[in-house]
Amino acid sequence: MKIKFHIFIFLLSLGFSNKKINLPPDNYDKWNILLDNKTAIHWTNYDNFPICKAERILNQKYSDVFKIIENKINYPNVFRRISKIKLYEDDIIHIHLNMPFPFSKRDYIVKYELVNKQNYSEFYFHSVKHPKSIRPKDSVLLPNAGGKWIIKKISHDKTKVTYIWNGQLLGDFPDWAMTKAWKKQGEEVLEWLNISLNNARY
């Protein structure tokens, strides 16, 4: 009976195989600047992946920002390029993205891991395979999706938000348009987050 149980656990673990990408450490200083405004956006080639970073200080409470990032099933109502979310487990979601015409849609499955520190929190996410996943035929899978949210309390009503992600888009997306797409994504994501937080006040 014990042998059958261990075989079952082993087979189940195969269905949830992980594929983590390495992210630059906190003291990494080889970022390339894409934008230096109210939203700062950088990118770098790290461990053979284009890693992007967007940062902005929001006039929002830390707890309010935390709630929105934690509520993953509500992402389509916050981040407008997300067309659909499928929740497989409490911490595993399938994200479907709309892309600008004429590019194909993108989708990826990631597992979230929360790490709480003394004055900030990290929502780390990385690509996984899930046995219940159904792949859409009109979408390009991003098998190396990964990154993290960093939410840091500055004061009672100021919070620094950092969004780091793998900028790999694959499929039919041209290389010459990559930096423009990363810049747009970084601006959009943090602006939509701020808009959602403002709307939640009323």
Residue span of the structural domain in which 141 resides: 2-200
Query: Per-residue confidence at 17, pLDDT binned at 50, 70, 90?
Result: low
- How many C-beta neighbours within 10 Å does residue 113 have? 13
Residues 6+ apart with CB under 8 A from 41: 33, 34, 35, 52, 53, 54, 55, 182, 183, 186, 187
Q: Residue 84 is part of a domain; what is its CATH number? A: 3.30.530.20
pLDDT at 103: 82
Q: Measured at the alpha carbon of residue 128, what is the angle toward residues 123 and 134, in degrees to the nearest 5?
A: 120
43-98 pLDDT tens trace: 999 999 999 999 999 999 999 999 999 999 999 999 999 999 999 998 999 999 99
What's the 3-state SS for 109-133?
EEEEEEEECCCEEEEEEEEECCCCC
Domain count for the chain: 1
| pLDDT higher than 50, residue 181 | yes
Q: What is the pLDDT of residue 202?
A: 45
* Nearest partner of 99 among 2, 43, 170, judged by Cα: 170
Check pLDDT > 50 for residue 14.
no
Give the list of residues 6+ apart from residue 93 with CB closer than 8 angstroms, or none: 72, 73, 85, 86, 87, 109, 110, 112
> Residue 40: what are its φ and ψ, rounded to 5°?
-100, 130
By DSSP bridging, strand 139-141 and strand 49-58 are unpaired
Amino acid (one-letter) located at 132: K
pTM of the model: 0.89
